[in-house]
Amino acid sequence: MKPSRSEFITVRRLKYHVRHWGAEGSPKLFMLHGWMDVSASFQFVVDCLRHDWHVIAPDWRGFGLSEAQHADTYYFPDYVGDLDSVLQHYSPIDPVNLLGHSMGGNAVCLYAGVRPDRVAKLVNLEGFGMPATQPEQAPERYAKWLDELRSPATMRGYGSREEVARRLQKTNPRLTDERAHFLSGHWSAQNAEGRWDVLGDPAHKGSSPLLYRVEEALACWQRISAPVLWVEAEDTDVWRWMGPKDKARVEIDRRIAHLANVKKASIAQAGHMLHHDQPEALAALIEAFLDAPEVPGSSA
């Protein structure tokens, strides 16, 4: 495995953990992980990159080794604000190559539309966005949020690191024993009682009182000027939260159509955690995209 190193910086008054691979002087590639994940999740893809890259991957607030925000609700715009601060720290002038998975993919797409001049190329891994909502859902959503504030979410503990690895494999049966063992040591930590706690703030499990307004998100996507690589897993489980497959496919394609310069790709024998399932194939796609000359307005 390629060695990584840790750094802690202050991001909007929070102590942020940032993982680095590669030499400081190499071209920068920022990687942003998904919900209930950590920066070390990209290890397998980094191992498969052929070029010399300085990969910079933060743990989002309240995940991994980054500080939790000491509040009972996480709001999505805060991830975008944190990303802006991280990029300002490491690349205050030059546009960056930006990659995000799932929740991280949603965050980088929003950011690339809000700050189009800051992004050179953009890779979205399974960052589909959330199901569209209607205003009439607001009262029930607020009520659900209030109910959850009375009974805050908790995280289950595990008796051993091996139990954590098995839990990861339950979520993703494709995960090999070796990869599950590696991830378990970054996804959790042993507490004073000898049990293993997931490195994620339980507040992440709570509902947001704010509805997902898809047209606002797409208005941001439409302003993205960077070339976009849109990568889906052949066996994605996005249908679990996006609705019936045929209708969800139509909606996802509608969203993709808001990207002016996009190249679409699918990875076989991979699920939502495609960076764990097929890191070699994914790394090849990423580098081919980053190496290719920019063709304005192209779409595939």
Helices (H), 58-119: 76-90, 103-114
- The mean pLDDT of the chain is 96
Query: Which tens digits make up the pLDDT trace of 133-157?
Result: 999 999 999 999 999 999 999 999 9
The pLDDT value given to residue 298: 54
Given a contact cutoff of 8 angstroms between Cβ atoms, the answer to whether 43 and 1 are in contact is yes
Grouping H, G, I as helix, E, B as strand and the rest as coil, residue 293 is coil
Report the side by side order of strands in the sheet with 119-125.
4-11, 14-21, 54-58, 28-32, 96-101, 119-125, 228-233, 262-267
The pLDDT value given to residue 299: 59
CATH topology classification for 4-136+209-291: Rossmann fold (3.40.50)
User: Whole-model pTM?
Assistant: 0.96
Query: Which tens digits make up the pLDDT trace of 196-207?
Result: 999 999 999 999
Query: SS3 letters for 126-147?
Result: CCCCCCCCCHHHHHHHHHHHHH
Sequence spans of domains, the chain = 4-136+209-291
Does 47 have pLDDT greater than 70?
A: yes
Query: Which tens digits make up the pLDDT trace of 160-189?
Result: 999 999 999 999 999 999 999 999 999 999
Angle, helices 214-221 vs 245-256, to 10°: value is 40
Reading the block at residue 7, the tokens are 């750094």
- The span from the CA of 191 to the CA of 208, in Å, is 29
The pLDDT value given to residue 297: 55
Query: Which tens digits make up the pLDDT trace of 210-257?
Result: 999 999 999 999 999 999 999 999 999 998 888 899 999 999 999 999
- The span from the CA of 122 to the CA of 99, in Å, is 6
- The span from the CA of 164 to the CA of 113, in Å, is 37
